[in-house]
Structure 1
Amino acid sequence: MITQGPNAGRSRWKTGVAVGLSAIALAALLGASMTTAQAPNAAAATTSTTAAAATAAPLAPTSQEDYVARRVAAIIAREHYRREPLDDQLSSMILDRYLNALDSEHSYFYAGDIAGFARYRYRLDNAIEDGDMKPVFAIFSVYQKRAIDRMRYSIGLLATKPDFNVDESYHFDRAKRPWPVDKQEMDALWRKRVKNDELSLVLAGKKWPAVVKTLRNRYQHVITRIDQTEPEDVFEAFMNAYTLSLDPHSNYFSPRDSEEYKIHMSLSYQGIGASLQLHNDYVTVVNVIPGGPAAISGKLAANDRITAIGQGKSGKLVDVIGWRLDDVVQKIRGPAGTQVRLQILPAGAAPGTAQKIITFTRNRISLNAQAAQAKMHTVMRNGRPIKVGVIHVPSFYQDYDANRAGVKNFRSTTRDVKRLIVSLRKQGMQVLIMDLRDNGGGYLPEAESMVGLFIHHGPVVQLRDTTGRIEVDQDPDPGIFYRGPLIVLVNRLSASASEIFAGALQDYGRAVIIGQQTYGKGTVQNAHPLSYSLFGSKPDLGQLNVTIGKYYRITGGSTQDRGVMPDISLPSLIDVRDVGENTHDRALPWDHIQPARFTVEGDLQPVIAKLRKLHDARTKNSPGYRYLESDIEALDEMRAQKSLSLSIKVRKAEQASDDRALLARENAWRLANGKKPYKSVADVKKDESAGIILTEATQIAADFATLSGPPAAPAVAGGAVAQRSSTENRSQ
C-alpha cells in the first residue's frame, strides 16, 4: 500500500495510526515556479537568475486553492478537538512547520531568506481565513530558486573527480544547525554532500564514469521535477503545515492523493504493501501493511529508505533518490505475480552506509491476507509439555459490505479469533497469547467485540468528542468465550484499536500485557471530502481528515500519548525515542475523565510479580537476549551518528569493522543454539532477532499456565456474569 490514512471505524469514529504524510511530498516538492528572490550576495543572485531563466513561469495559487483554504479553516474551527483559534500564535507555528517541511536539513534556504520570511510570521492566519495563498507561493518560489541553484552547482562539481584520500567529514544531520549565511558557506556544504554521494557509489563498486552518470541523472531528475510541480502540490504542503500544527493526525489530501487514500481504503491495488512518504529526497517507509508482501517477507521496516528500484529478477536498478513520490509509487506498482527489487538504506543508517536489495512479488492485499492466524507452541516445564496457543492479529477487520448485505457468515476479526480458539483448544491449549505487535488499528467495533470474548460483560472504551460529550461503548455480547490464562503481546507499533483492546483487558485484570509501551494514538478522525456541486459539475477539491475526539480507557485515563504500559517489558529494535505519538511536538496531551462503572474480573498483580521474577532470571544470561541487546546497541550507535568521514580509507575500515561486529553477533547466537557459524557476513541471510521475543513470550506464557494450575473448563457465549463488582482501577 502506498498511502495511509485512518482506518474506517463506525460512522462517526475512525481508528488507526493516521499517517497521511505520504500525501505530503514536503521535503522534495520542487515545483515549476521561479520568481526573483534577492540572494545574500551578487554571485548567488547571478547564479540564481541563470537557473531561473531555464525554468517555467512562476506558479501562482488558483481560485480553487483560495476557496479550499477558507473551507478547511471553517471545518477545523468547527470540529477540531483542540478548539484552538487560528491566530498569530498558530500562524507562527505554521510558518516554522512549513519552512521545516520544505528545508528540514537547512540546506537550501539562506539565513537571509529566513529573516525575510519573518514578515509572514503573523500573517498566515489571515491569509488562510481570507483565502489568499500568495504568501505561501512566494515562500515556495524562493525555495525552488535555491533548490535549482543547488542542483546545477552539484552537476557542475561532477566535472572533477574529488580526492577521496582527504580526511574531512560531512555533517548530514543539519536539522538543528543554522541556515548558511552566504554562498561560500552553502557551496562548502554542498561540495561535501556531493562528495559523499560520489564516495557512496564508489564504495558500492561503481566506476567513476558510472558514478558521474548516476548522479547527473539524479540531480537532473530533480530539475525536471521542478517543471512538473502543480499548484495543488504547493497548496497541499502548506495545508498540511497548518493541520499538523494542530495535531499529527489531521491532514489534507490533494485531489490526486485523495484518490490514493480511496485506493488504500478499498485495498484495490497491487504492490508490495507499504505506506511511503517523501523525506529529505528519500522515499521512506512509514509502515508495512498487514498481509502484504512486505509484511510477509519481514525484510522491510519503518524508516527504511528506498534508493533504487529494479523490475523483475535482473532488471537494471534505477536510482530514485530525489524523485517525486508518485513517480516512485508507479515504479513499485505492477501486475500481481510480477517481481520488483528495492535497494534499501536501512532505518537510522547514515547516507553512504552499505545497502541491501530485497525482492518482492507484487500481490493484491486482501482480507484473507490480513486475517488472524494461529500457531501452537510447546514449552517444557518441570518435565512436562505446556501447550501455548498464539493468535496473531495484524489488524481489526470486518467484511462490512457482506455484513450490510445480510451475509450470515461474513468475515471479521472476532469470528476468526473465536474459530482459532476452538481449534487451539482441540489441540490441548493451556494458555493463550494474543499477538498484536505491529497492529496499527482498524475497525473499532471489532476491537470492542474481541474484548468481549475474554470478559463477562461491561464497558470497553470511552470516547469524548469536540463538544465534550462522552460515549461509553459496551461489550456487544454478554458472556465469556475464553476464561483461561491470557497474555497480550504488544510493541511500539501496536496502536489505536490495539491499545483499546490491550488497555481494556489490563483494566479488567483479565490479561497480562507484555512487550513495549504502545504507540499512544488515542485520537479519532473524521473524513471530509471537500468536493461540491456547481452547475452540474463536481470539481475534486481533495479531502480533509480532522481530529474530532479522544479515546479513554474504562479507568478514565486516555490512551493518547502514553499508550498502554506493559506489565512485563521486553526489548525491541524499535526505538521509542523515534517512533510513537509522544515523538510529535503537537500531539494532543494525555488526560483523564471519570472512570466507567465496570466489574474487575481478577487481580493479576501477584502473578505478574512472580512472572517478572522468573522472566528476569531466565533472560539474565540468555544467549538470545544477549544477541538482541547487542543488536539494539549496534542500532543505537548507528542512530547516534551525525556525520560521515569522506576518506575512502576510513569508510572502508568502518565498513569492515561493522561487518566483523555483525558476524560476531550472528555467530555467537548460532553457536549458543548449536548451529554452524557463518564464514563471512555475506552468508548472513536472516535477522535471527525476529523470533527471540515471541520465544520469550511463550516462556512467560508457560510460567503463567503453570502458576494458574489446570486449565479452566471451556466457556461459551451467554455464560453467567461474575458478581464481583468494583470501580477501583489500576493507575496509569
Structure 2
Amino acid sequence: MKKSFWVAMLASIISVASCSFTTKRDFDDPDKDRILIDLISYVLNKGHYDAKAINDEFSKNVFKDFIKNIDPLKRYFYESDIKEFKKYETLIDDQIRDKEIIFFDLVYNRLKDRIADANRLYKTILEKPFNFELKEKINREFDELSYVKNDDQLIDRWRKDLKFNSLSYYYDKVEEQIDSLAKNKDYKRKSAVVLQEEARDITLSSMKDYFELLDDLERKDWFSVYINAIVEEFDPHTYYFAPQDKDRFDIAMSGKLEGIGARLQKKDDNVKIVEIISGGPAWRGKQLEVGDLIMKVRQDKEEEPVSLIGMRLDDAVSLIKGPKGTKVNLTVKKVDGTFENIQLVRDIVELEETYAKSSVVKKDSKAYGIINLPKFYFNMKDYNQRNAAKDVKQEIVRLKEQNIEGLIMDLRDNGGGSLQTVVDIAGLFIEKGPIVQVKSKGESPEVLRDKDSSILWDGPLVILVNELSASASEILAAAMQDYKRAIIIGSRQTYGKGTVQNVMDLNRWMRSNDFGDLGALKLTTQKFYRVNGGSTQLEGVKSDVVVPDRYSYINIGEKDQDNPLPWDKINPANYVLWNGNIDFEKTIKNSKKRMVDNAQLRLIDENAMWVKRKRDVNEYSLNYQEYKANIEENEKQAKIFDKINDYVTNLNFESLPYEEELMQKDEVLKDKRERWHESLSKDVYVEEAVHVLEDMKINSKPKAKNSFTLKN
C-alpha cells in the first residue's frame, strides 16, 4: 500500500507530541491522569478516521456511559448521587480541554464510599433465610430501573439481587440431591432449610470474593474505565489499553492462546463469549457458542462454583484459564435462555486448526470441493511465509486434481485478518481488477487490485457467510458478489465491520516520561468500500440466498454496537463483470424455492424466533416453584429443537489424498477430520450450497479447463 496521508500525519503527531507532551515543560501539575487524558484526546482528534467534536452532546454521552459502566446494576449510587453528578453532565468536554478530572474524582470517591457501604450490607442480608414461597419478581433490564431514593430501597434492591443468586444455587442443590437419591438409596436427605443455608453460604462466599476483587482495584483501574468511556464515543473499536491490558493484547496477537479457546467480553455484569477460537477446547467440544453467558466457574476438585456476576473480566478469565490438561466446569446461560453445566479440558489452542482446510464433497457421481477458512492469517514479520492466500491456492489446486465441478468457500464465523490475503484470494477467481477500496482520513480512496490476469478456479463458486463473518470476510464476499463471480449464501447480512484499526504505543510520543508505562490506544484509521462504491460498514454483505440460523433475530452485528461509524458510499471503481455465462437470477430463484420447502430450515427459523423471545425476557420470579417451572418449561421447549442436530444430508465427505497419507500416521488429525466431516454431513447450508453449484453448472456454458499448476 502506498505511503498514505495517515503515515505523514502520524509523523507530524509524533513530532508535535515529542515537543508538547513532556513532564516538565508545559504542565505545572505532573499528574499522570491529566497527561494521559490530554494526550489521548489529542491523538483521537488528529488520528481518528471520523473524529467527533468534543462538545456538550459528547459530554452527555460520556457521562451516561461512565456511570453505567461502573454501576451497571444500579446497586451503588442513589438518585441524589446522580443529581449531584449531573452538574458536570455538559462540562466533561470542558474538563478534557482544560486537562481537569474533577468529575472523575467526584464519582470515583463517591463510588468507593458506596462500595464500602454495600460490603457491609450484603453480609447482613445473607444472615437471614429468604422466603422462596413469596411471589415476587426481579427486573434484570437494568436500563429500565431507576436509581434508589433511600436506604430502604437500596436494601431491597440488594435483597432481591442476593435472593436471585441464592435461588439459583438452591435450585442446583435441590436437583443435585434428587440425582443423589436416585443413584444412592443410602444417601442422607437434607432439609430445605439446610439446602437454603448452603445456597446462601455459596452466595456469601461469591460476594466476599467479589468485594475482595473490588478492594484490589486501584484508582488507575477506574480511570481506565473513564478513559474508555471517552474513547468509545468515537466508535466501538476504539479502545484504550492500560499497560497490563496491552501486555495481554500483545500475547493474544502473537497467536498463543491457552485455556478454553474463547474470547470473553464484559457485558453489563456478565461474562459473554464473543468468539470461539478454532482449534481450542470450546471449538472441539461444540457446547459453547457466541452469545453464551458464563455465570459460574467450578474447578474440577472444588466442591462449590464461583459466581462471575459482577466480577472483573480479568479475574473471571483467571478463574477460567488454567494449566493444560486440567478440567473446568462452567455454568452457562445459553443463547436461548436455558442453563447448561459444561465441562472442558483446558488446552493450548491448536494453531493448525486455524488454517485453511478442504474436503471433497461427493453427491451421487459428482465431486465438489469445500474450503473452510477460519481467518485470513499471515506472518506479521514476513508475508511471504505461510498465509491464508497461499494455503487456499494450494487447496484449490489439490481439489482440481480430484475433478471437482464446483467450489464452496466457507467463511462462516471468520472474523477477518490480513487485507492483502483477501486481495490475493480474490485474484484466484477473477482476472485482474480492483478488489477493495480503502479510504484514510483526508485522502482519496486507494484501490487495492489483483494484478495477476491468471485464474486458478473459473468454475461455479459459492461463498457461505453468517452474522459473524466480518471485516476481511466481508470484503471477499462483497468483491465476488459485485463481480457476479459467486453466489453468497447465508444470513440476511454479515457482521458489518468496515473499518480498520491501528494499535499505537502511547509511550513513544513522550519525549520524557516520569510516569512509567502509559499503555496504548487502538483507534480507527481507515474505512473499507466495495468496488461498487458502497461501504461494508453497518450493512455488511447481504446474501443472495438468505437462510435462517440461530442468530437471525438477535442483536449481534456492528449495527447493534454503541457508536458505530455510519454507512456511506463513494464512487465505484472501474471493474468488469465476470463473464462466466451463469444465469444468476434463475439459480437464486431455484435456491429460494428450496429454502421455502425445506423443513429443516423452517425448524431452524422457529428455533431462532424462540431464542429471540427468550432473550427478551428480563423479569424473573423469585418464587421457587415458579422459578423451577420456568426452567423446566425452557428445557422442554429446547428439546423440541434437539432434532435440528439429527438432520443428515445425503452428502459424503472425503479428505484429499495427501491428508489420507498423513492420517495413517496421525490419529489426532484423523479424529479431527472425521469430526469435521460428520459436522458437514449434518450441515443444511452446505447441502444447499451443493444444490446451488449444481444449478450454476446446469445454467452455465462449459469452459476450457484452466491449465494452472502450483509452483513451489
Question: Would the aligned equivalents of 1:12 and 1:526 in 2 still touch at CA under 8 Å?
Answer: no
Query: Structure 2 CA distance, aligned partners of 1:74 and 1:329?
Result: 33
Once the two structures are superposed, residues 221-246 of structure 1 have per-residue CA deviations (whole angstroms, 9 ceiling, x without a partner) of 22212221122211211111111111
Structure 2 residue identity aligned to 1:716:
F
Out of 370, 375, 391, which is 1:395 matched to?
375
Report the alpha carbon displacement of residue 687 of structure 1 after superposing the two structures with TM.
10
Structure 2 residue identity aligned to 1:195:
K
Out of 629, 633, 637, which is 1:653 matched to?
629
1:489 aligns with 2:473: no
Once the two structures are superposed, residues 139-196 of structure 1 have per-residue CA deviations (whole angstroms, 9 ceiling, x without a partner) of 1332343344344333322222222122222111121333233333333333222221
1:139 aligns with 2:139: no
1:370 aligns with 2:354: yes
- In structure 1, the partner of 2:555 is 578
Report the alpha carbon displacement of residue 344 of structure 1 after superposing the two structures with TM.
1.6
Question: Would the aligned equivalents of 2:287 and 2:342 in 1 still touch at CA under 8 Å?
Answer: no
Out of 518, 531, 549, which is 2:526 matched to?
549
1:123 aligns with 2:91: yes
Once the two structures are superposed, residues 637-668 of structure 1 have per-residue CA deviations (whole angstroms, 9 ceiling, x without a partner) of 21121211122212222222222223333358
Secondary structure of 2:485's partner?
Answer: coil
Change (3 A) 1:205 1:615: farther
1:636 aligns with 2:612: yes
Query: Structure 2 CA distance, aligned partners of 1:311 and 1:11?
Result: 51
Report the alpha carbon displacement of residue 511 of structure 1 after superposing the two structures with TM.
0.7
1:528 aligns with 2:504: yes
Give aligned pairs, total: 639
1:322 aligns with 2:310: yes
Report the alpha carbon displacement of residue 306 of structure 1 after superposing the two structures with TM.
1.8
- In structure 2, the partner of 1:57 is none
Question: Would the aligned equivalents of 2:554 and 2:612 in 1 still touch at CA under 8 Å?
Answer: no
- In structure 2, the partner of 1:56 is none
Structure 1 residue identity aligned to 2:695:
D
1:184 aligns with 2:152: yes
Change (3 A) 1:437 1:12: farther
Out of 341, 350, 353, which is 1:356 matched to?
341
Report the alpha carbon displacement of residue 576 of structure 1 after superposing the two structures with TM.
5.5
Instruction: Give the gaps of 5 or more residues in structure 1.
Output: 1-8, 15-60, 405-409, 675-685, 719-732
Query: Structure 2 CA distance, aligned partners of 1:709 and 1:144?
Result: 73
Instruction: Give the gaps of 5 or more residues in structure 2.
Output: 7-28, 175-194, 651-677
Report the alpha carbon displacement of residue 550 of structure 1 after superposing the two structures with TM.
0.9
- In structure 2, the partner of 1:678 is none
Query: Structure 2 CA distance, aligned partners of 1:401 and 1:225?
Result: 39
- In structure 2, the partner of 1:457 is 432
Change (3 A) 1:139 1:468: same
- In structure 2, the partner of 1:251 is 239
Superposed, which structure 2 residues align to 1:41-80 within 5 Å? Answer: 63-80=31-48
- In structure 1, the partner of 2:12 is none
Query: Structure 2 CA distance, aligned partners of 1:453 and 1:687?
Result: 27
1:564 aligns with 2:541: yes
Once the two structures are superposed, residues 82-111 of structure 1 have per-residue CA deviations (whole angstroms, 9 ceiling, x without a partner) of 232222221122111111222334343222
Query: Structure 1 CA distance, aligned partners of 2:630 and 2:461?
Result: 46
Report the alpha carbon displacement of residue 715 of structure 1 after superposing the two structures with TM.
4.7
1:701 aligns with 2:677: no
Superposed, which structure 2 residues align to 1:225-624 within 5 Å? Answer: 225-312=213-300, 317-347=305-335, 349=337, 354-366=339-351, 368-380=352-364, 385-403=365-383, 410-516=385-491, 517-532=493-508, 539-575=516-552, 577-602=554-579, 607-624=583-600
Change (3 A) 1:100 1:537: closer
Query: Structure 1 CA distance, aligned partners of 2:480 and 2:680?
Result: 31
Query: Structure 2 CA distance, aligned partners of 1:645 and 1:427?
Result: 59
Secondary structure of 2:500's partner?
Answer: strand
- In structure 2, the partner of 1:714 is 706
Query: Structure 2 CA distance, aligned partners of 1:473 and 1:394?
Result: 23
Secondary structure of 1:462's partner?
Answer: strand
Q: CA RMSD in A?
A: 3.0
Question: Would the aligned equivalents of 2:406 and 2:459 in 1 still touch at CA under 8 Å?
Answer: yes
Question: Would the aligned equivalents of 1:345 and 1:356 in 2 still touch at CA under 8 Å?
Answer: no
Question: Would the aligned equivalents of 1:482 and 1:715 in 2 still touch at CA under 8 Å?
Answer: no
Change (3 A) 1:147 1:388: farther
- In structure 2, the partner of 1:23 is none
TM-score by length of 1: 0.81
TM-score by length of 2: 0.83
State which drifts further: 691-700 or 393-402: 691-700
Change (3 A) 1:401 1:145: same
State which drifts further: 591-600 or 335-344: 335-344
Query: Structure 2 CA distance, aligned partners of 1:421 and 1:147?
Result: 59
- In structure 2, the partner of 1:195 is 163
Structure 1 residue identity aligned to 2:689:
A
Change (3 A) 1:202 1:330: same
- In structure 1, the partner of 2:654 is none
Question: Would the aligned equivalents of 1:173 and 1:643 in 2 still touch at CA under 8 Å?
Answer: yes
Change (3 A) 1:715 1:565: farther
State which drifts further: 703-712 or 691-700: 703-712
Once the two structures are superposed, residues 525-577 of structure 1 have per-residue CA deviations (whole angstroms, 9 ceiling, x without a partner) of 12210114666988211000111221111111111111111111011111454
- In structure 2, the partner of 1:86 is 54
Report the alpha carbon displacement of residue 690 of structure 1 after superposing the two structures with TM.
7.4
Query: Structure 2 CA distance, aligned partners of 1:413 and 1:99?
Result: 43
Secondary structure of 1:91's partner?
Answer: helix
Report the alpha carbon displacement of residue 424 of structure 1 after superposing the two structures with TM.
1.6
Change (3 A) 1:360 1:388: farther
Question: Would the aligned equivalents of 1:10 and 1:443 in 2 still touch at CA under 8 Å?
Answer: no
Question: Would the aligned equivalents of 2:256 and 2:348 in 1 still touch at CA under 8 Å?
Answer: no
Structure 2 residue identity aligned to 1:692:
V
State which drifts further: 614-623 or 278-287: 614-623
Secondary structure of 1:631's partner?
Answer: helix
Question: Would the aligned equivalents of 2:499 and 2:537 in 1 still touch at CA under 8 Å?
Answer: yes
Structure 2 residue identity aligned to 1:247:
D
Report the alpha carbon displacement of residue 670 of structure 1 after superposing the two structures with TM.
4.3
Question: Would the aligned equivalents of 1:499 and 1:564 in 2 still touch at CA under 8 Å?
Answer: yes
- In structure 2, the partner of 1:217 is 205
Secondary structure of 2:507's partner?
Answer: coil
- In structure 2, the partner of 1:49 is none
- In structure 2, the partner of 1:726 is none
The share of aligned pairs that are identical, in percent, is 31
Report the alpha carbon displacement of residue 257 of structure 1 after superposing the two structures with TM.
0.2
Secondary structure of 2:683's partner?
Answer: helix
Report the alpha carbon displacement of residue 475 of structure 1 after superposing the two structures with TM.
1.1
Question: Would the aligned equivalents of 2:261 and 2:281 in 1 still touch at CA under 8 Å?
Answer: yes
Query: Structure 2 CA distance, aligned partners of 1:210 and 1:688?
Result: 45
Question: Would the aligned equivalents of 2:535 and 2:567 in 1 still touch at CA under 8 Å?
Answer: yes
Query: Structure 1 CA distance, aligned partners of 2:513 and 2:148?
Result: 52
Question: Would the aligned equivalents of 1:69 and 1:129 in 2 still touch at CA under 8 Å?
Answer: no
Question: Would the aligned equivalents of 2:242 and 2:519 in 1 still touch at CA under 8 Å?
Answer: yes
Query: Structure 2 CA distance, aligned partners of 1:531 and 1:690?
Result: 52
Superposed, which structure 2 residues align to 1:16-31 within 5 Å? Answer: none
Report the alpha carbon displacement of residue 68 of structure 1 after superposing the two structures with TM.
1.0
Secondary structure of 2:699's partner?
Answer: helix
Secondary structure of 1:441's partner?
Answer: coil
Secondary structure of 1:109's partner?
Answer: coil
Query: Structure 2 CA distance, aligned partners of 1:369 and 1:492?
Result: 21
State which drifts further: 612-621 or 174-183: 612-621
